[in-house]
Structure 1
Amino acid sequence: MDSTVVELLDRNVEHAEKENARFDDLQETQFPDAVTICCSDSRVLQDDMWGNDEPGKIFTCSNIGNRVTQPTSMGHLVSGDVMFPLWNTDTKVAIVVGHTGCGAVTTAFQYLTEDVIQPRGIKYCLEQLKPHLKEALDVLPDDLSDAAAINHLVEYNVDHQVSRLVDSEDVPDDVTVLGVVYDFQDVYSDQRGKVHVINVAGETDVATLRGDHPEIADRIGRLWEYGRTLTAEQT
């Protein structure tokens, strides 16, 4: 057997010994406080980023590009993975989690600006990111490096996914929708792994967000408010 599998199973023993009693009240049901829609990048630790090691606390969804919808014969609908806790477990918070240096956004950016060959399954996912990222290319600041452009597009993609949730008739009105960026590249601050709030229910203006949500004002900041790039002092 591959040594990776052996190591994972050994670590699972430690997990099982620790978790046994924690499932006493969860064996038959769950009521997670939030659903997170994260990129499936291996560097994005979905529970650990919130300091969570408690079963039943967070309903985690992941895919490349932290996409919230799926194409259907009726158009783009919010994915059942996301909708399930919002309809069935009384979950009232949905958080779209992008991250700096996103591989899916990077590949979509390359897909739009140069020839890139990818397997059909990956191409299918990229096709869902391309339309809105193509729009963003037209308004990106001109003097950005590719790395900086990609991190601006990460924000744009998070905003787009948030708008899909906010505009959906299927998402209950009392659900709080946030967009955040998980930073491990020292882009927003020198604290690697810190989560930065960039969007609340479709609002992206930093000053407005800080005024509306003073209790998390120090966690709100953006690289890009469309049409201008913000300095570290401004964010």
Structure 2
Amino acid sequence: MHETVIDLLAQNENHAEEFDSRFDDVQDGQAPDAVTVCCSDSRVLQDHIWGNEDPGHIFTCGNIGNRVVQRTEAGEVVSGDVLYPLVHTGTETAIVVGHTSCGAVTATYDALTDGVSDAPGIEHCIDILAPHLEPGVESLPDDLDRADAINHLVEYNVDRQVELLRESDDVPDSVDVVGVVYDFQDVYGGRRGEVHVVNVAGETDVETLREDHDEIAERIDRLWEY
């Protein structure tokens, strides 16, 4: 057995010992308070970024580029893994979680600007992102270096995913949709690992957001107000 698997199983023993009694209330079903759509990046610890240690509290979805849609014969629709808790478990909060220096956004940027290609499975994901990010790439300020351009597009991508959720007829009107960026690279000036709110129900103006949500005003910030 590979050493990594052995180490992971050892850590699972610790997990099982700690969590043994925490499943009592959720063994027969779930009613998570929020669904999060995160990027599948090893640096983004999907539950830990919220300090979550409660089974049943957060329904976590992950894919490269924190995409909320998939392609079907009927066209582009909200992904089933995102939609499931919103229509079947009473979950009324959806959080799109982008992160600084996102590899999927970088790959999409490179595909749109330089025609860079990748393995077919990765290209499939990029092809879903590309139409939504292309207007953002075309609108980027001219004075940005590559790293800043990518981080601007991370916000733009979060905005588009929020928009896709809000415009879908499959998502109940009662669902609150929030967009955030997880920063582990000192981009927003806070502590590494902080989540910064960039979009609430489609609103992206920082001053408006801070006025409307003064209880979290210090956590609201954006790099790009386009």
TM-score range, shorter chain: over 0.9
Name the TM-score, length of structure 2 as normaliser: 0.98
1:32-47 to 2 correspondences below 5 Å: 32-47=32-47
2:193: which partner in 1? 193
Matched, 1:70 2:107: no
Structure 1 unaligned runs (5+)? 227-235
Secondary structure at the aligned position of 1:224 is classed as coil
Partners of 1:58 and 1:213 lie apart in 2 by 22
**2:117 equivalent in structure 1:** 117
Structure 2 Cα separation of the partners of residues 119 and 134 of structure 1: 20
Deviation at 1:117, TM superposition (A): 3.2
**What residue number does 2:11 align with?**
11
> 1: distance between equivalents of 2:178 and 2:12?
32
Q: How big is the shift at 1:115?
A: 4.0
Moved more, 210-219 or 48-57: 210-219
Match of 1:22 in 2: 22
Aligned runs of 1:24-173 on 2, under 5 Å?
Answer: 24-173=24-173
Provide the rounded CA distance (Å) in 1 between the counterparts of 2:73 and 2:187: 39
Q: Displacement, 1:112?
A: 1.5
Cα distance, 1:212 vs structure 2: 1.3
In 2: Cα distance, 1:208 partner to 1:160 partner? 19
CA distance in 2 between counterparts of 1:51 and 1:116 reads: 38
> Residue 133 of structure 1: CA displacement?
1.7
Per-residue displacement from partner, 1:11-61 (whole Å, max 9, x unpaired)? 101101111100111111111110000000000010100011111110000
Residue 204 of structure 1 aligns with an amino acid whose one-letter code is T
- Cα distance in 2 for partners of 1:141, 1:85 equals 38
CA distance in structure 1 between the aligned counterparts of 2:167 and 2:117, rounded to whole angstroms: 33
C-alpha separation in 2, matches of 1:60 and 1:179: 15
Task: List aligned pairs for 1:218-229, cutoff 5 A.
Answer: 218-226=218-226
Per-residue deviation, residues 148-168 of structure 1 (Å, max 9, x unmatched): 000000000000000000111
Partner Cα separation in structure 2 for residue 155 and residue 5 of structure 1: 35
With normalisation by structure 1, the TM-score equals: 0.94
- 1:162-204 C-alpha deviation (Å, 9 max, x unpaired): 0000111111111110000000010002300000000011111
CA–CA separation in structure 2 for the residues paired with 1:190 and 1:125: 31
1:189, 1:6 → 2: CA distance?
38
Task: Give distance in 2, aligned partners of 1:20 and 1:133.
Answer: 44
Distance, in Å, in 2 between the alignment partners of 1:197 and 1:102 is 17
How far residue 217 of structure 1 moved from its aligned partner, in angstroms, is 1.2
In angstroms, what is the RMSD of aligned CA positions? 0.9
What residue identity is the alignment partner of 1:14? Answer: N
Q: Displacement of 1:132 after TM fit? A: 2.1
Q: Within the alignment, does 1:178 sit opposite 2:188 as a pair?
A: no
Q: How many residues align?
A: 226
- The residue number in structure 2 matching 1:204 is 204
Q: What is the letter of the counterpart of residue 182 of structure 2?
A: Y
